[in-house]
Amino acid sequence: MQQMQRSGQGVMQASQYARNLDNLEVGTTPADVVYQGRKLRLLHYKPMVEKMHPVPLLVVYALINRYYALDLQPDRSWVRNMLQQGFDIYLIDWGSPEPIDKYLTFDDYVNRYIDTFVDMVRDASGQERISIHGYCMGGTMSVMYATLHGEKVKNLYVTAPVIDVEKDTTVLGNLSKHIDADLLVDNYGNIPPEFMYLSFTILKPFKQGVNKYIDFVKHADEKDYVENFMRIEKWLYDTPAIAGETFRQWIKDIYQKNLLVKNQMKIGGKLVDLSRIDMPLLTVVAEDDHLVSPECSVPLNYHVSSEDKTLKVYPTGHIGMLASTYSQKHILPEIGAWLKERSYNHAK
Amino acid sequence: MTEEKSKSEEDNNQALKKMFDSWIETMNWIQNRTPGIPAVGPAAGLARNSVTISSELAQATESFTEFNKHLAQYYAKISAAWMEATRQVIAKCPMDISDEKAREQLKNVWIETFEQEFTTLFDSEDFAQVFGQMLKNEVKFNKHIRNLVEVISTNIGMPTRSEMDSVYKEIERIKNKLKEMSDNIRDLSKIRKETARVSR
């Protein structure tokens, strides 16, 4: 009886929190906006230590969900951790595409936007080549960029990039093979967020869809637990639309034809040849990743020509690689060490 | 029982399809004669486009029927997975759930079993095909309604989505041209600086 009363109070409290979702602060690490387009922004984070490593790091986030996954809350912030390790960090906030953006392709994202931002970071830092970190779909775009503009990339660090989809074992990979991307894009233009929610909700419907809410009700009177939970929920349901033409390429060329790993994908008329990647490469994957299975990302390491390449597999999930206590304690110190060693001009 | 049910669903779908087909035939017969209707002004446009309008309506209805057919298959699969998972949970669950530990154990068994059953379903080729078809027909329905709105909008002089699309396309082309030009300027200024440095 007592337990039922407690659960009832928890549910009531949960609805209060849900009403305040918009006021929940995320992405609080101080940053300057060094470029502001109609929607697109380039953030430059303020340093947290006196001595910084000279080679800056540009973060290319995915086009799905929002960039602040890297800075959800101070004690689990990827950005804050890397700043404290002395890295000079720039991050692309892609914003939300509007109907006018429906014709944006990977060519625009990679050869126009990323390239412009890389040039801006190079100019601001005075470095000929910079480090790039790409996460998930951003990892795939970083890989495309590195094949086409390798002369500007000193180090490439990717987390869960989508590379060889034939080896992908996720539900998302299975469903994507049967989606009529042409019909969707021709009809909707940009792919609406609702479509993305639908795809996410069937990924782990009980462990993540039901169990987490049962646990939430149990812990609804614990302030830290609730705030952490609500931040992740806010991030999960804050996904922008995807530019139509980019979605068409993403589904058809990558998920259905698997062109990327076959070195047959073209963007802006240029061939994306993975063997052109010869800079130091760090690939990070998670054993329990249900969005991009490790088997899908790992082949990158076997298709590049880099001599200095490292593959790290961690016992966590897709978002756990960025925003978890585990990541703060185990993943980021290792990544920082790898990157630091290669962030000086005398470095290999 | 399930076989009988699905046969009856199939029969219903066939009957509906047959009915729509005969409507389409009748409408086509009538519409082929509509251009002969004497109309002037805006109504002339509507009369001229009446074939397209009714054809889009008929196709929208057909897509909706197909969507419903696949929606029924989708729910049948979900429901079968749910039943199977429930059966497994009943077989595995402890008999006595009066204490909290047993209830927690039941919850864990329930989550684990359902997760396993539904992941197997969502991972299957069969489910992905039904899901793909359901989505396809939903979007096709939407497409025909949009085409309908487009024809009507044109007749009453409203901007249409196709017109907006061509504007978006042109803006995108101009943006790419600008990027190309600014890259060229950047390269030229680099060459100029380099030439000046060498000649000094």
Q: How far is B199 from chain A (nearest CA, A)?
A: 24
- Identify which of A83-92, A228-237, B179-188 has the greatest average pLDDT: A83-92
Q: How far is A206 from chain B (nearest CA, A)?
A: 5
Whether B200 has a pLDDT exceeding 80, the answer reads: no
The answer to whether residues A150 and A279 touch, using CB atoms and an 8 Å cutoff, is yes
Active site residue A318: yes
Kindly list the distances between the CA atom of residue A66 and the CA atoms of A27, A40, A223, in Å, as whole numbers in the listed order. 10, 12, 24
Q: What is the ipTM of this complex?
A: 0.72
CA distance B140 to B146: 10
| Mean pLDDT of all residues in B96-120 | 86
Closest CA to A157 of A177, A178, A134: A134
CA angle in degrees (0–180, nearest 5) for B9-B15-B19: 145
Point out the catalytic residue in the list A136, A168, A253, A296.
A136
Tell me which of A69-78, A110-119, A161-170, A198-207 is least confident: A198-207
Question: Which of chain A's residues have a Cβ under 8 Å away from the Cβ of B146?
Answer: 187
Query: Can you give the pLDDT at residue B37?
Result: 52
Task: Tell me if A189 and B165 make a contact (CB, 8 A cut-off).
Answer: yes
Per-residue pLDDT of B70-90, as tens digits, reads 999 999 999 999 999 999 998
Q: At what angle do helices A223-236 and A211-218 cross, to 10 degrees?
A: 150
Whether A48 has a pLDDT exceeding 50, the answer reads: yes
Whether A348 has a pLDDT exceeding 50, the answer reads: no
Point out the catalytic residue in the list A44, A53, A133, A318.
A318
Q: Which tokens go with A61?
A: 């986030």
Q: Which tokens go with A329?
A: 């304690």
Question: Which of chain A's residues have a Cβ under 8 Å away from the Cβ of B175?
Answer: 108, 112
Active site residue A289: yes
